[in-house]
Amino acid sequence: MDIIGQPTHGEEHFSDAGEIRQRLPFPFEGGRFPKDLGAVVQATVLSGDIPAREVVHTADGSWLIGDGVSDSNLPGASMVSQISHAVQWNSAIAELATMGPGHIAERSDPGHPWQIAALEASGNQLS
């Protein structure tokens, strides 16, 4: 399995087939996101316009990535993508590959540390 965050020696690390899997067995090999793992990601994060400030690993094993400032529920505001595309614009997301199901990581801005909490304890959830 190819994994995000490992040296690629100049090779593209995105899946050639574009296959996206909603869930994969956790924990991930080497503590890194598998390249075909998908997430629901806000378009603002994928475009690099606004940094990721929220990352959720749901109890069922799905992943959600948001900017923490705009409404992720508006039409067209979020889309399914490989996590690797979000990591491309927000390398700090890679640090969260070991975050267990049922948790949310939040940060105030890039460069600030992620604060991880159980979803039930957090008043903010992406949906």
Q: pLDDT tens across 97-123, in order? A: 999 999 999 999 998 999 999 998 555
Q: Could you give the C-alpha distances from 43 to 32, 57, 62, 67, 118, in angstroms and in order?
A: 23, 18, 18, 9, 25
Contact between 86 and 46 under an 8 Å Cβ cutoff? The reply is yes
Q: pLDDT tens across 39-52, in order? A: 999 999 999 999 99
Kindly list the domain boundaries of the chain, sorted by start residue: 29-120
Contact between 24 and 38 under an 8 Å Cβ cutoff? The reply is no
- Rounded Cα–Cα distance for residues 54 and 92 (Å): 11
Q: Indicate if the alpha-carbon torsion angle 61, 13, 32, 119 is positive or negative.
A: negative
